[in-house]
Amino acid sequence: MAEVRVENLVKTYGAARALDEVTLDFPDGGFFGLLGPSGSGKTTLLRAIAGFVLPETGRVLIADEPVENVPVEKRGIGMVFQNYALFPNMTVAENIAFGLDVRKVGAAEKKRRVTEALDLVQLGAFGARKPHQLSGGQRQRVAMARAIVTRPRVLLLDEPLSALDKALRVDMQIELKRIQREIGITTIFVTHDQEEALTLSDRIGILKDGRLIRHGPPREVYDDPRDSFTATFLGDARIFSGTREADGLRLADGTLVPGAQGATIAVRPENFQLSASEPNAPCRLRAHLVQKIFGGALGTCLLDWQGEVIKVVGRDADFRALPESGPVWVSWQPEHSVTISP
Amino acid sequence: MSNGFLAHLGRAYVGLILFFLYAPILVMAAMSLNASEFYQLPFRGSTEWYARLWHNGEILSAAWRSVWIAVIVTLIATTLGTAASVALFRHDFRGKRVLQVLLFPPIAIPWLITGTAMLIFFFGIGLGRGTPAVIIGHVALALPYVIVVVSARLATFDRTLEEAARSLGATPWQITRAVTVPWILPGIIAGGLFAFAVSFDQFVVSYFLSEPGDTTLPVLIYTSIRKGFTPEINAISTIIIALSMGIMLLAARYSNFGGER
**ipTM of the assembly?**
0.83
Using a CB-CB cut-off of 8 Å, the residues of chain A touching B178 are: 87, 98, 101
**Region of poorest pLDDT, from A45-54, A163-172, A304-313:** A163-172
Beta carbons within 8 Å of B14's beta carbon, 6+ residues apart? none
Beta strand A298-305 with A283-293 is antiparallel
Q: Where are the domains of chain B?
A: 57-254
Model confidence pLDDT, tens digit, residues A106-149: 999 999 999 999 988 888 889 899 999 998 889 989 999 999 99
pLDDT interval class at B246 (50, 70, 90): confident
pLDDT interval class at A342 (50, 70, 90): confident
Please answer whether residues A10 and A17 qualify as being in contact, where contact means their C-beta atoms are separated by less than 8 angstroms: yes
What pLDDT sits at residue A175?
85
* Most confident range, picked from A244-258, B143-157, B199-213: B143-157
Return the sign of the alpha-carbon dihedral for residues B69, B72, B75, B81: negative
B225 in contact with A at a CB cutoff of 8 Å?
Answer: no
- Give me the mean pLDDT over the B34-42 stretch: 69
Instruction: For residue A330, give the 3-state DSSP assignment.
Output: strand
Gap between the Cα atoms of B141 and A185, Å rounded = 55
Nearest to A89 among B170, B171, B183 (CB): B183
* Residue that wins the pLDDT comparison between A33 and B110: A33
B181 in contact with A at a CB cutoff of 8 Å?
Answer: no
What pLDDT sits at residue B4?
80
Edge-first strand order for the sheet with A238-245 is A256-258, A248-251, A238-245, A264-267, A338-339
Gap between the Cα atoms of B100 and B103, Å rounded = 5
Contact B183 A81 (CB under 8 A): no
Q: Is residue B261 predicted with pLDDT exceeding 50?
A: no
Please answer whether residues A303 and A287 qualify as being in contact, where contact means their C-beta atoms are separated by less than 8 angstroms: yes
Gap between the Cα atoms of B86 and B79, Å rounded = 11
Please answer whether residues B115 and B209 qualify as being in contact, where contact means their C-beta atoms are separated by less than 8 angstroms: yes
What pLDDT sits at residue B39?
67
What pLDDT sits at residue A219?
92
| Chain B interface disruption, residue of A43, A67, A70, A72, most B CBs within 10 A | A72
Using a CB-CB cut-off of 8 Å, the residues of chain A touching B92 are: none
What pLDDT sits at residue A201?
92
Gap between the Cα atoms of B134 and B119, Å rounded = 10
Percent of chain B at pLDDT above 90?
Answer: 19
**Region of poorest pLDDT, from A18-27, A295-304, B216-225:** B216-225
Model confidence pLDDT, tens digit, residues A221-255: 998 888 888 988 888 888 888 888 888 888 888 78
| Chain B interface disruption, residue of A82, A102, A140, most B CBs within 10 A | A102
Pick the closest to residue A284 from A305, A308, A313, A299 (CA basis). A305
Please answer whether residues A57 and A226 qualify as being in contact, where contact means their C-beta atoms are separated by less than 8 angstroms: no
Q: Is residue B80 predicted with pLDDT exceeding 90?
A: yes
Residue type, B115: G
- Give me the mean pLDDT over the B116-138 stretch: 88
Distance from CA of A63 to the nearest CA of B (A): 17
What pLDDT sits at residue B225?
79
pLDDT interval class at B258 (50, 70, 90): very low
Gap between the Cα atoms of B193 and B254, Å rounded = 10
Pick the closest to residue A258 from A279, A283, A287 (CA basis). A283
Q: In terms of C-beta density within 10 A (0-12 exposed, 13-18 middle, 19 or more buried), how is residue A51 classed?
A: buried
pLDDT interval class at B201 (50, 70, 90): confident
Average pLDDT over chain A reads: 89
Pick the closest to residue A121 from A87, A154, A80 (CA basis). A80
B183 in contact with A at a CB cutoff of 8 Å?
Answer: yes
- Give me the mean pLDDT over the B185-195 stretch: 89
Gap between the Cα atoms of B117 and A24, Å rounded = 63
In chain A, whose CA is at the least distance from the CA of B163? A52
pTM of the model: 0.77
Using a CB-CB cut-off of 8 Å, the residues of chain A touching B179 are: 87, 89
A residues 232-261 near B, CB within 8 Å?
A: none
A52 in contact with B at a CB cutoff of 8 Å?
Answer: yes
Distance from CA of A178 to the nearest CA of B (A): 22
Gap between the Cα atoms of B138 and B66, Å rounded = 11
What pLDDT sits at residue B255?
64
What pLDDT sits at residue B79?
94
Residue type, B198: V
What pLDDT sits at residue B1?
54
Segments of A259-336 assigned E as strands: 264-267, 273-275, 283-293, 298-305, 308-315, 326-332
Q: Is residue A293 predicted with pLDDT exceeding 70?
A: yes
Percent of chain A at pLDDT above 70?
Answer: 100
What pLDDT sits at residue B256?
57
Percent of chain A at pLDDT above 90?
Answer: 46
What pLDDT sits at residue B71?
94
Beta carbons within 8 Å of B68's beta carbon, 6+ residues apart? none
What pLDDT sits at residue B2?
63
How many Cβ pairs within 8 Å bridge chains A and B?
63
Gap between the Cα atoms of B5 and B11, Å rounded = 10
pLDDT interval class at B161 (50, 70, 90): very high
Contact B165 A147 (CB under 8 A): no
- Give me the mean pLDDT over the B93-111 stretch: 81
- Give the CATH superfamily of B57-254: MetI-like (1.10.3720.10)
Number of other CB atoms surrounding residue B17 within 10 Å = 10
Pick the closest to residue A306 from A330, A324, A322, A282 (CA basis). A330
Calculate helix-pair angle for B57-90, B131-154, nearest 10 degrees: 40
| Chain A interface disruption, residue of B168, B176, B181, most A CBs within 10 A | B168
Please answer whether residues A31 and A85 qualify as being in contact, where contact means their C-beta atoms are separated by less than 8 angstroms: no
Specify the DSSP class assigned to residue B142.
H
In chain B, whose CA is at the least distance from the CA of A77? B167
Using a CB-CB cut-off of 8 Å, the residues of chain A touching B174 are: 102
Beta carbons within 8 Å of A33's beta carbon, 6+ residues apart? A189, A190, A191, A196, A197, A198, A200, A201, A203, A204, A205, A218
